Amino acid sequence: MNVNIGQALAERAAEQADEIGLVEAATGKSLTFQELNGRADAFAFYLQAKGVRPGERVMLMVRPSADFICLTFALFKLGAVVILIDPGMGYRNLRRCIAGVQPQIFIGIPAAHLFRLLFPASFCSIRLSFCCGFSFGLFGPDICTDVGLVSPPFPAYPARPEELAAIIFTTGSTGPPKGVRYEHGVFNAQLRLIRDYYQIGPGQVDQPGFPLFALFATALGARAVIPDMDPTRPAKVDPRKFVRSLREQKVTYSFGSPAIWNVVSRYCQEQRIVLDTLQQVLMAGAPISGDLIARMQTILPSGARIHTPYGATESLPIVSIEGQEIVASTWPLSRQGHGICVGRPLPGIEVRVIAFSDAPIPLWDEALCLPSGQIGEIVVRGDVVTKGYENNEQENRLAKIEDKGSFWHRMGDLGYLDDLGRLWFCGRRAHRVETWDGVLFTIPCEAIINEHPDVARSALVGIADLLHPGRQQAVMIVEPVKIRKINRDKLLAEVRELAAASPLTCSIQLFLTHPDFPVDIRHNVKIFREQLSVWAQKQLQGRS
């Protein structure tokens, strides 16, 4: 059975040939499904003629655009393995990730080729390179102008479900980014789940804040609108541009980081804008507050739905909940320190909570499972769950639990299941703080502190406890709101009182303020607590 994910675009082109399949908001350029598929086929023939073979690894460093979509589908059709890395992860991580996957083919914009020249050691495995963009001939011809919109059908490589389609890197929010192996079968399972559960397909218009979701949209027959924004800086999105394309293109659903919707919702409220055509919003990437969802409800038409799917690069999506249930039922509990409710498992997905450990768990045992209400590590099984990391056996041993021919994936997240079967998120396993008095979990503790009106966000971190080796001292760091001048000493005194009044935080004795938390590049909301821990250690040492 050929499950090549590239076939999905060919099928949409056959069914919706003359319908608009993609729009670039920045340029106004639009392509029909037939043109998208024709250009993908033309790229596939071009690259095949130049020597790109099935199974070869292709580093794709092209900005979100029609060419990015067409090149990706072309590589799928060729049977090549697409390597996608967030360019904003920093030069050191970028070089390490590229060297780790050893690509044979390089396709990039001129700036990416310049990066390759500056750091040749990381690209030593490259045997063929192509430039996507004008470079005065320095990096070869611009393949984007050499290839047209019309082509005979390209015979897609007959991929099996277990064959590798892509390597996509994690954000590295709790350590070095890891390359996740995506098989054709996993992509197909994701498409099926997204189509069936969120009812996405022909006749819909998507404006994704994350480039990969434009691939899902076009593969499902929805029009994809590439927003005019830098996807590596979603918190810096220009709301005027984002809203303009939402309205002009009559977008019906949109996926994005809460950092995007925080900016867009505030802008719409200020301008008294209601996004009349937007019927569905998906927010993911980090814990999402009920306040943001309530604000979003004011800028959407009656009956519009807000979903907050939960997952990770290794397994997406696995759990989901609607905004109405969050605002009416779970958010009041979240504010009291119960964690963030991320919803119920999606069809075909199994979720369990087991006793947390930093050690490998080679074999599954039902005795590992914890009763409802008890915090442990979240594990998941299902056909959207990837099987492993690329060239990283140590992480594979830590992340996978064998179970009679199947396996469970350890999310690295902590949480619990309630009596209604809903999953509650309480933070990352690596971010728990093990003090002499007991274990503290980030999300519940931070919720108590975030109730202060002058706290934009907070971060619980651990530093070395010199009096109790092997244990940590808990430090609560707060980032003050920026819209008004804050008296730092007064804020810290009030935060101490707030913490002392809750059984969750009363044991915390160390408090600091930080002007601007470091966050991940993909969603701009995941707090880099490891960096804050090092910073806190230095700050407190300087006081002693």
Distances (CA, A) of 115 to 92, 112, 119, 125, 171: 12, 5, 6, 15, 20
The closest alpha carbon to 93, from 168, 175, 166, belongs to 175
In angstroms, how far is CA 510 from the centroid of its own chain? 32
Same domain, 452 and 374: no
What is the rounded distance in angstroms from the CA atom of residue 275 to the CA atom of residue 260?
Answer: 15
Low-confidence ranges of the chain (pLDDT < 70): 1, 88, 173-174, 542-544
Same domain, 103 and 142: yes
Greatest CA span in the chain, whole angstroms?
A: 73
Which residues face 389 on adjacent strands? 180
Give the per-residue pLDDT at 210: 86
Whether residue 518 lies inside any domain: the answer is: yes
Same domain, 143 and 11: yes
Same domain, 158 and 80: yes
How many domains are there within the chain? 3
CATH of the domain at 45: 3.40.50.980
Of the residues 158, 183, 208, the one at which a domain ends: 183
Of the residues 370, 403, 427, the one at which a domain ends: 427
Same domain, 421 and 442: no
Give the per-residue pLDDT at 33: 98
Same domain, 371 and 472: no
Hey, what are 252's tokens?
């019906």
What is the rounded distance in angstroms from the CA atom of residue 120 to the CA atom of residue 415?
Answer: 43
The closest alpha carbon to 48, from 71, 77, 78, belongs to 78
Whether residue 276 lies inside any domain: the answer is: no
Of the residues 395, 427, 459, the one at which a domain ends: 427
Same domain, 416 and 436: no
Whether residue 147 lies inside any domain: the answer is: yes
Whether residue 482 lies inside any domain: the answer is: yes
Give the per-residue pLDDT at 541: 86
Whether residue 536 lies inside any domain: the answer is: yes
Whose structure tokens read 């979720």? 351
Question: What's the predicted TM-score (pTM) here?
Answer: 0.94
DSSP calls for 424-479: EEEEEGGG-EEETTEEE-HHHHHHHHTTSTTEEEEEEEEEE-TTSTT-EEEEEEEE
Same domain, 384 and 451: no
Same domain, 396 and 513: no
What is the rounded distance in angstroms from the CA atom of residue 98 to the CA atom of residue 88?
Answer: 14
Same domain, 331 and 458: no
CATH of the domain at 511: 3.30.300.30
Task: Give the three-class secondary structure for 360.
Answer: coil
Which residues face 96 on adjacent strands? none
Whether residue 348 lies inside any domain: the answer is: yes
What is the rounded distance in angstroms from the CA atom of residue 357 to the CA atom of residue 348?
Answer: 26
Whether residue 198 lies inside any domain: the answer is: no
CATH of the domain at 355: 2.30.38.10
Whether residue 1 lies inside any domain: the answer is: no
Same domain, 459 and 389: no
State which residues form the domain around 484: 432-543
What confidence tens digit (pLDDT) does each residue in 224-280 have?
999 999 988 888 999 999 999 999 999 999 999 999 999 999 999 999 999 999 999
Same domain, 410 and 450: no
Give the per-residue pLDDT at 173: 66
Task: Please count the other Cβ atoms lying within 10 Å of the Cβ belonging to residue 506.
Answer: 12
The closest alpha carbon to 420, from 334, 330, 350, belongs to 330
What confidence tens digit (pLDDT) does each residue in 293-348 have?
999 999 999 999 999 999 999 999 999 999 999 999 999 999 999 999 999 999 99
